[in-house]
Amino acid sequence: MRPIIHPMFTLRNWKRGDEQGLQEMLDNPNIIKNLSDSYHYPFTEDDARRYVREYLDPSSTNFAVTIDERIIGGTELIFKDDPGLALVEGWIGEPYWKKGIGHQMFRAMSQYAFDNYSINTVEARVFTWNTASARTLEKAGFTFEGVLENSSIKHHNLVDVWIYHAKRDYNHEKNLFRIYKNKFGQ
């Protein structure tokens, strides 16, 4: 993939040398608690080496999020059985929270998906306790679709997730006020 250069960050393929930055960002229980159980705390140097090695393939849709080549996060498009749908996942390191990077990352990934693949919907899933990420998705133009009860496993327990969708050609600004008012009562 050619890097996606945004004024705030760059999305690019993982490369050797990213391991230390990845480990520094993901070795944080505040991040790990909101990711799937395939991530764990502590996140070690060996974990980071395995992760980067797994995604070195230039055709991978798992990307590093960087600022001036420093790893600040990661994001991935996952293609499921439905040819019109891709799942997007992503995380930003805690030092970069509340800077507007998260929602811009999800917008960039949605646009990348729509520009490069024949899909109409990008889906994101959020644990129901993670209201900050839910708001991030809504700022990115995703619409709340519903709750999947007992649909994910976290720490060996079944937990609920919120489902969000972004649609091809969706006006990201169109429904933000309605979304905030209805979901968060603001």
Given this model, what pLDDT does residue 171 score? Answer: 53
Given this model, what pLDDT does residue 156 score? Answer: 87
180: domain CATH number?
3.40.630.30
User: What global pTM score does this model have?
Assistant: 0.88
Is residue 119 a contact partner of residue 85, using CB atoms and an 8 Å limit? yes
Q: Domain span at residue 41? A: 4-184
pLDDT in tens, the chain (186 residues): 789 999 999 999 999 999 999 999 999 999 999 998 888 899 999 999 999 999 999 899 999 999 999 999 999 999 988 889 999 999 999 999 999 999 999 999 999 999 999 999 999 999 999 999 999 999 999 999 999 999 998 888 999 999 999 999 755 444 443 444 444 444
Given this model, what pLDDT does residue 23 score? Answer: 97
Given this model, what pLDDT does residue 177 score? Answer: 39
Q: In total, how many domains does the chain have?
A: 1
Q: What is the DSSP string of 148-175?
A: EEEEEEETTEEEEEEEEEEETT--TTTT
